[in-house]
Structure formats: structure tokens, C-alpha cells
Amino acid sequence: MAFRTALIEETAAFGEIIRTADLTTEVPSCPGWTLKQLFKHVGRGNRWCAQIVADHMKEPLDPRDVRDGKPPEDLDGAIDWLNAGAQALIDAVEHVGSDAKVWTFIGQKPAGWWIRRRLHEQTVHRADAVLALGLPFVLDPELAADGVTETLERVALMAPAADPPLERGRSLHLHAAESELGPTGEWLVVNDEDGLGWSHQHAKGDAAVRGPASGLLLAVNRRQTVEEAGLEVIGDAAVWQRWVDHSAF
């Protein structure tokens, strides 16, 4: 997947939603935020990552220290600022090299890691915006499926062993409805002797959640309930509910 192109496209799409929206609109999936706050969060987030990469940082960057971290007051200038931030991240990665190790919130990672992370951050926040406005969320199934994968990767690394989103010995199967995705549209999450992990595997879980890849992305990121996302839960629904209740970071 061309993550760099997708980041530019998703950022632009988000900006166009903001361009025509009432920025005082509350964002239910981000409690306490308006669209204006969501916009600033996304725009500053890309510049935050770009600075971490460009400066080859090994420690976290205080968001207050982000260069040019505030958007211009005029809307056109603010949209340009948003799009330039995504491009700045791509430019920074190209400058230092995709494999150069930099700080991330899950340890030192290749700089290119940030592009995929910000892409999926952007798709979910675009969903926040369109859902707040009562609009349909449309996303390419391949991109949505990779977003599910990226979410599971982070949860598996960040979940506390003492209170995991999946109890020891239990399993959860996610299955995208789009058959063209093949193995990349299925995920088996387990908590076994090796701890919490996942694989692209077609196997029965204690609970299964099935439906469109975009719906799965919204559900695993707690943006919509399974009902709202057009998904079906099969098996022990408590397994899925525990995942939802314990996978937020």
C-alpha cells in the first residue's frame, strides 16, 4: 500500500470536510472536543511527528514545542497549514531515511513507521468529523483493513499484562466482509502462554465480529458500536465487550 500517497489524500479529504463545516460542532466520539479542536489536534500531530523525525529525536517532544504548531486564523490558510504538515512528515522521513531510528510511544522505530501511524490516525479522525456531521464514512477496504491491523499491533504491544483486553485463554476473531481482501481481512486475537497477540488466520474464536472492513476499523477504535457499524457478533459477546472496554489508550 502507498502509505505516503494515502496520507496526503486522507489529510486533504479531512481538510475539505472542515472547510465547509461549522467548527463549533461537537464531536461525540472525542468527548469535549469541537471540530475546531479536532482539526488543531490533527494538524499539530503531523507537525509533531515531522519534527521528531527531522530532528532525529530519541526522546518525546512536548507538543507545546512544535514548530509552527498553531494554524492561521483564516480558513484557507489553516487548510494549507494542515496539508503542509502531512507533507512535512513525508519530507522528513525522506530526508533522514525510512530506516533511521527515532522515538515513538512504543519504543525506537524506523522513521517510516510514523507515516503509517499518522495515516491511520487521520482516517479515524476523518471518521470522527463525518460522524459528528451525520455524514457517511467511506474508506477503501484495503486501507480500512490495514487500519485494523495497525490497531491490533499497537494494542498487543501496549496492553497491560495485569488487565488485558482479552482474558487468558480466550480468543477473538475479526472477519471483514470484503472477500477480495483475502487473508488480510481476517484476524485472530489470542491471549496464550506468549501473551496477547494476533495473526491473519481463519479460525474460530470465542467471539467473532463480522462486517465491512471500515465498520471493523471504527469498532476496534471505539468510534461506533457494532450495531452502528453494521457488524455482527457471533459467540460470546462478553469477549468482544471486554475488548472494547479494555483496549483504549
Along the chain (249 residues), what's the average pLDDT of each consecutive run of 10 residues? 94 97 97 98 98 97 96 97 98 97 96 98 98 96 98 93 93 97 97 94 95 98 96 98 90
pLDDT in tens, 146-159: 999 999 999 999 99
- CB proximity list for 172: less than 8 A, separation 6 or greater: 166, 188, 189, 190, 205, 206, 207, 208, 209, 239, 240, 243
pLDDT in tens, 2-45: 999 999 999 999 999 999 999 999 999 999 999 999 999 999 99
Q: What is the pLDDT of residue 248?
A: 79
Q: 110 pairs with which residues across the strands?
A: 101
Model pTM score: 0.96
Q: What is the pLDDT of residue 27?
A: 98
Long-range contacts of 186-189 (CB under 8 A, 24+ apart): 187/148, 187/149, 187/152, 189/152, 189/156, 189/243
Query: Which amino acid, one-letter code, is at 12?
Result: A
Domains of the chain: 3-133 (1.20.120.450), 162-247 (3.30.1050.10)
Q: What is the pLDDT of residue 1?
A: 62
